[in-house]
Amino acid sequence: MTADLAVEQARTLGSPRRPYGPLARVLFLGMDLVYGRARTLRKFTVLEVIARVPYQAWEQVAYVAMTHTYRKPDFARRVFEFVKESRMQQDNEQWHLLILEEMIQKEGLPESFLLYRLAPQLVAFFYYHVSWLLYAVDPKLSYALNADFEDHAEHEYMEFVREHPELERRPFDSEFKADYDETLSTVADLFRRIGLDERHHKDESLARIAAPRFS
Ligand SMILES: [Fe+2]
Ligand SMILES: [Fe+2]
């Protein structure tokens, strides 16, 4: 066990969840109804499919903003920095998804096209437009929804590690390990690391609410 990651897990589990807004509540309730309340690998992949979407929406909006502002170089540069950050977060969520999917395939868990392919894509489609629309109305609304989503993900991953002490003894091996984090030795630490990433994503959204970079 990596000491720092265990400390981070304890920090998450010792802190309250955010008071989630109505949209986030509907999303989490809907996921519990469709996929069950239990934390499972499958349910996490659904979370990860949806998690990338706000960053895609913001990147898209920022690109349009750059088209209209490239004549003000300072402003355009700030927008471009924002685009780069959104891309990095998207990529980070992508590694989460690839690693989880690889784990599911290795374990030979049952497939359901409807539940694990089609439904998440539909939810992601709607979530993209909600994120985009909220951003157009007031970027803070979109960041707040994402902070709720990331806070939920952070807690779910850390709880999952607590519920499964056997993961402390399971070595972590993956085709994507070098791309993601070579220092991870157990599956428990992998999930702690993912949970910590979600906290960083949350904190980045909260920082933007406090001090919007542009708009
Ligand atoms: Fe993630
Ligand atoms: Fe995240």
Domain hosting residue 37, numbered range: 3-210
In a domain, 158, yes or no: yes
Q: CA–CA separation, 210 vs 33, rounded Å?
A: 34
Q: What is the pLDDT of residue 213?
A: 58
Task: Tell how far CA 59 is from the center of its chain.
Answer: 15
What's the number of domains the chain is made of? 1
Q: What is the pLDDT of residue 214?
A: 58
Q: What is the pLDDT of residue 177?
A: 96
Please report which ligand is nearest the Cα atom of 96: 1
Q: What is the pLDDT of residue 47?
A: 95
In a domain, 24, yes or no: yes
Q: What is the whole-number distance in angstroms between the Cα of residue 73 and the centre of ligand 2?
A: 30
Q: What is the whole-number distance in angstroms between the Cα of residue 77 and the centre of ligand 1?
A: 27
Please report which ligand is nearest the Cα atom of 193: 1
Please report which ligand is nearest the Cα atom of 202: 2
Q: What is the pLDDT of residue 152?
A: 98
- Domain with 85 in it: what CATH number? 1.20.1260.140
Q: What is the pLDDT of residue 39?
A: 97
In a domain, 58, yes or no: yes
Which residues lie closer than 8 Å to 215 by C-beta, 6 or more apart? 65, 139
Q: What is the pLDDT of residue 184?
A: 96
In a domain, 215, yes or no: no
188: helix, strand or coil: helix
Q: What is the whole-number distance in angstroms between the Cα of residue 3 and the centre of ligand 2?
A: 22
Of 207, 157, 208, nearest to 187 (Cα)? 157
Low-confidence residues of the chain, pLDDT below 50? none
